[in-house]
Amino acid sequence: MVTPPWRINEVLDRAQNGPVCLEKDYDLKLLVPELRRVIKEYDIAFDPATPVPEDPSLADSLWEAGIDLYLKIGTLCNDTHRRIMFSEEEVKEALGNFPGKFTLGFGRDSRELTYRRIEDHKPPFCMFTPDITCDEDLFLPMSMAYLQEPLADGVCAPILDEIEGMPIRSGYPSEIKGAVAHTMMFREAARRVGRPGIFLKSVGTAESDAAQIAASNPEFGERLTDGRFVASITELKIDNSLLNKMVHFHTYGCFVGALAGPILGGYAGGPEGTAIVGVAYHLMGLLVNQAHFMVYFPFHLKHTCNTTRELLWVLSVTHQAVARKSNLISLSASYAAAGPCTPMVLREAATHALASVVSGSNLWIMAVAKNRHKNYATPLEARLAGEVGYGVSNANLSRSDVNELVLTLLKTYEENIEDAPLGKNFRECYDVKRCKPTTEYLDLYHNIRKALEDLGIPFIY
């Protein structure tokens, strides 16, 4: 089994020579009408009473609808105005050759990342991340705070938007300097907490292909055992810069993740269309982004989070479809509405982990405060999500059990999504010098955890 990469030259050739298509035609004449067709043809319907459904026929139909959609429209390369198309046989070949597991990191810190099944006893692989920009002087202590969390199988660093007093701008020399500084400091943070071989996912500071290439260096930067991202452009699009990254990452030899976030309320439409596009993204991630794993974060156009009732359904049913029909590795990325040091963000963290893990996903945890506010993230939100994810798998909860828990938790915060509390930033929640949470936040964390246990949510310790 050798996939990925799947026939890189074929992908690059089709990006240059595939069927001509303008972006507006791709969106309005292909994606939207084809999406409407498959929703109706495969009878995909969202039920607000079951944010965590357990109907296997729904998951199977969603998978078939996603394949149908993707075979019809493919991926658009925005720079060449060409569609990258695949046959059904090619999709089956790539899926059939996907190994379903990889060893990330090295030495005693290495961990195995594998696909998961629905209601799997196997605990989720937990990627911890603040998923937000931070002040330069906070980069090292914030990274150390996440890296020292016991449940963190890997960590993705915060993002720099300034380096040594200079704003970091994509395509400018400051971006190269910032990207190299990012990866050097991240490596130092891992060594300082005693986990030098842990899987590091970078480099968020590097937006351009040139900056990503500059950060590839086994001596001071990104190693072969680390991971990088090839993102997608909404919806189901890519460009030459992203393809440049894909080619470089594979020729360099590191692990590749595909990053995809279909937008509920955009061209994907409602929850049904968003879920179908989510399945198509998993196919695109394998065939175009050439990824070893998918980080999947559907989000709400208005609220920019995915802890609403509709998005929990989208996450659950998409992961169930992928888990039933493939060995693809998918991580469910949490985007919470509330910010740190609030009861709401911890309840959102628990709800997202419940719905995701029981449905067959691993965890990418977590962006908070609608992913908008610099320095607003701490490891405590990720810690709680990871603990809930481990508890779900260890106790072998059913989807029916989890659905009831999710419905109960939704009642505690659903009405506050639009005006969610911002909470406090990292400096206010953590002792920066010691990389330790404040007593205030730790007490809140323990109180919420106790309330979750009283609801019937299991914890492993």
Residues 6+ apart with CB under 8 A from 403: 50, 51, 52, 53, 54
Residue 18 has pLDDT above 70, yes or no: yes
User: What CA–CA distances, in Å, run from 244 to 16, 239, 240?
Assistant: 13, 9, 6
Residue 72 has pLDDT above 90, yes or no: yes
User: What CA–CA distances, in Å, run from 341 to 421, 423, 452?
Assistant: 10, 6, 16
Q: What percent of the chain has pLDDT over 70?
A: 100
Report the alpha-carbon distance of residue 94 to residue 87 in Å, rounded. 11
Residue 2 has pLDDT above 90, yes or no: no
Residue pair 399/358 in contact (Cβ under 8 Å)? The answer is yes
Give the burial string for 171-199 (b: 16+ CB within 10 Å, else e).
Answer: eeebbbbbbbbbbebbbebbebbebbbbb
What is the average pLDDT across 352-366? 98
User: What CA–CA distances, in Å, run from 36 to 42, 44, 194, 316?
Assistant: 10, 10, 52, 21
| Banded pLDDT at 202 (limits 50, 70, 90) | confident
- What are the φ and ψ backbone dihedral angles of 386, each rounded to 5 degrees? -65, -40
Report the alpha-carbon distance of residue 65 to residue 351 in Å, rounded. 27
| Banded pLDDT at 429 (limits 50, 70, 90) | very high
What letter represents residue 294's amino acid? M
What letter represents residue 152's amino acid? A
Q: What is the pLDDT of residues 39-63, one digit of tens each?
A: 999 999 999 999 999 999 999 999 9
- Angular region, 206: left φ>0, alpha ψ -120 to 50, beta rest: beta
Residue pair 448/440 in contact (Cβ under 8 Å)? The answer is no
Q: Supply the pLDDT for residue 3.
A: 80
What is the chain's mean pLDDT, rounded? 97
- What are the φ and ψ backbone dihedral angles of 274, each rounded to 5 degrees? -65, -40
Torsion of CA 125, 130, 131, 137, to 10 degrees: -140
Residues 6+ apart with CB under 8 A from 447: none
Q: Supply the pLDDT for residue 152.
A: 98
Residue pair 268/35 in contact (Cβ under 8 Å)? The answer is yes
Complete domains list, the chain, with CATH: 101-125+262-455 (3.20.20.460)
Residue 142 has pLDDT above 90, yes or no: yes
- Within 10 angstroms of residue 93's Cβ, the number of other Cβ atoms is 16
